Homo-oligomer: A and B are copies of this chain.
């Protein structure tokens, strides 16, 4: 069983403009931190970098929760860690489903033996809190779970009312913030969120591989009172918290370089400041929408429920989804996403996340899309760039 090393060339991925559903473009400072010399996971320098990463994550989540750490896996590992730690077999768990990621939550609850209360909503729309109230009325759920920013549809979910319902029912409130964290306001403590998780490759603009999570005291209490062990050894927070806490008890070897990169990405966010960052995302999003609509295309999600960082654009009749995405990638090096599940072939998902969320990218994307749409036989209306620029010029 042999191999010829000469068959393998140097890594050279080129320079993509990442405007899909994630990963977003990674700032050079983050790539530099990523390639710092690797050191031990119990080295004093690394332990202090862990502490700093936790502080920066607490700022980003707007929480005082001691257990605020990156899980050693991608966003989906964060989702799994959230459920496996607080759900025991037989527990009732209410999950809101209006896209791929709510569906994934339900799948996880079923696998670990939770009794699923599924609250379904239209894909591309927010879940109505009244639907949640009705669904849990006759039940006693331990957890109510929802996605803040549905990456598969671009729908934004208001959280306050559903947090109130969770509180009334004495349930833990669990929120998927994979796509929202770092791109729009999330206020874990103020909103009364007990468990939240995210991914590094969306609005944080760090490469994929880590899942920031935060657990409230109430969620930690639930872990302590478990009657059965967490089904996952790798994601068992009752052990992981000892490594991230004062005891420094070895659990698994932390992904050292990825944590260096995350720390740097979080530092960049702190330098920009959350408020400025959220304003930037909103303005660039509005510029994109202005351009898209001027072109004669339309947004899939109603204005009041749109996410700034994930823009679902309806594919016009007769235009070939793949032809356009391939054209953008091959001719301009621009990546956007296609639709998933029932929205496959119906929408494009245009990401404006973190470092990718710039006026430069919006202008280039609109110009490139116009060109590729023309090749696809669709004639865009004029004025897209002017409309976008007008929004960007606003104070």
The chain A residues found within 8 Å of chain B, CB to CB, are 1-5, 8, 10-16, 18, 20, 22-23, 25-26, 31-41, 43, 45-46, 49, 52, 55-56, 58-59, 62-64, 72-77, 79-80, 104, 107-108, 110-112, 189, 199, 201, 207-209, 229-234, 250-258, 260, 263-264, 267, 270-271, 329, 335, 340
A52 to B6, CA, bound (A): 12
When distances are taken between beta carbons in the complex, the residues of chain B under 8 Å from A46 are 13
- Copies of this chain in its oligomeric complex: 2
When distances are taken between beta carbons in the complex, the residues of chain B under 8 Å from A76 are 233-234, 251-253
Q: Is the CB of A75 within 8 A of B11?
A: no
Q: Is the CB of A3 within 8 A of B270?
A: yes
With A5-B267, A35-B32, A111-B229: A258-B260 Cβ-Cβ less than 8 Å: no
Q: Is the CB of A55 within 8 A of B255?
A: no
Q: Which chain B residue has the least Cβ–Cβ distance from A15?
A: B37
Q: Is the CB of A199 within 8 A of B253?
A: yes
Which of B25, B40, B80 is in CB contact (< 8 Å) with A18? B40
When distances are taken between beta carbons in the complex, the residues of chain B under 8 Å from A72 are 73-74, 77, 209
Q: Is the CB of A207 within 8 A of B257?
A: yes
Q: Is the CB of B23 within 8 A of A37?
A: no
Q: Is the CB of B3 within 8 A of A335?
A: no
Q: Is the CB of A208 within 8 A of B256?
A: yes
CB distance from A193 to the nearest CB of B (A): 14
Q: Which chain B residue has the least Cβ–Cβ distance from A16?
A: B39
A79 to B253, CA, bound (A): 13
A258 to B33, CA, bound (A): 14
CB distance from A149 to the nearest CB of B (A): 15
